[in-house]
Amino acid sequence: MFRTLMAAAFAGTVLFIAAAQARADVPLPACDDAAVLHAIAEKQDYADRRLDGRGLRVIAVERTRQTFRSGGEQIGTIARRGCSARAVMSEGRPRSVRYVIEADTGFAGNGYRVQSCIAGLDRWNVFSGDCRTLAQW
């Protein structure tokens, strides 16, 4: 029984280290990657349909730039890339966008996710006023 428990604990540790190493090696897409920009537009469309109903859509995302890159170099760290850009909205007004691309922290640690905030559209202050929590990265 003791051997079985020790073998299971060892196997679990090996799997955890392998998963952490895989997460550390995940290449993050660039700030101007089409899939990343599409995720920003999709999030805004979803929020507008379900919550706001103002009809604001992202027409284009331009002037993208990387603001930071961290983690992912060591086992157990999460790779993150911070970005800022300008979103051209359907209302004709440009708005600043802050977003973070990070290695997925789910069970399998597969892929990446994008968290974004468009200035003036964070009605419930999820990212603080004017997207401050994403800007601090």
The string of pLDDT tens digits covering residues 8-65 is 555 444 444 444 444 445 689 999 999 999 999 999 999 888 887 788 999 999 999 9
Residues in a beta bridge with 118: 97
Mean pLDDT, the chain, rounded, equals 81
Query: Is the predicted pLDDT of residue 98 greater than 90, yes or no?
Result: yes
Instruction: State residue 19's pLDDT score.
Output: 46
> What integer pLDDT is reported at residue 22 of this predicted model?
44
How far apart (Å, rounded) are the C-alpha atoms in residues 90 and 74?
A: 42
- CA angle 128-130-132, nearest 5°? 55
Question: 80-89 and 58-70: which strand pairing?
Answer: antiparallel
User: For the chain, how many residues are written?
Assistant: 137
